[in-house]
Amino acid sequence: MNKELHYILRLCHTLCNKKILLQTSTLGLSPGQPKILEFLEYHNGCEQKEIAKACEIEPATVTNLLARMEKAHLIERKQLNGNRRSLHVSLTNEGEIVTKQVLKIFEEVRKKAFEGFTVEQQEGTLRLLTKMFDNLSD
């Protein structure tokens, strides 16, 4: 196997995504929706533009994903203070149930990825990857 950083990171990302999407698709979710649900778990009632920025998804794509999620009764969008340009997104009861299932899937994939790692190695890996992200974000 190629030992270059970009190659290993891409492979890990691809395999992680495949495992997550395989399981979340059984919940009726399309790519992009699981991370929106995860974001809403911690930022319920936020604006659409916050979701786009935090999830690194184009605003138009977020609009389409949210429309499908609203149709599936996972979220609701409401105008606040009469501002038609600012929609606030909240999980519905059904959305909260699906979100719990998504978070369980994320945890299962995390456990698989860290199989055989000590707690210290897990923390160190996350710390180093975060540092790499910070370095590349400049």
- For residue 83, what is the domain's CATH number? 1.10.10.10
The pLDDT of residue 2 is 84
Q: Tell me what pLDDT residue 138 has.
A: 80
Q: What is the pLDDT of residue 84?
A: 67
pLDDT at 87: 83
- Please indicate, yes or no, if residue 12 is contained in any of the structural domains: no
Q: pLDDT averaged over consecutive 10-residue blocks of the chain (138 residues)?
A: 91 96 96 96 94 94 96 93 79 98 98 97 97 92
Q: Is residue 3 part of a domain?
A: no
Number of domains in the chain: 1
Which domain range does residue 71 map to?
19-137
Is residue 41 a part of any domain in this protein? yes
What is the Cβ-side half-sphere exposure of residue 55, based on CA atoms within 13 angstroms? 29
Cβ contact 105:23 at 8 Å: yes
> What are 75's strand-pairing partners?
91
- pLDDT reported for residue 25: 96
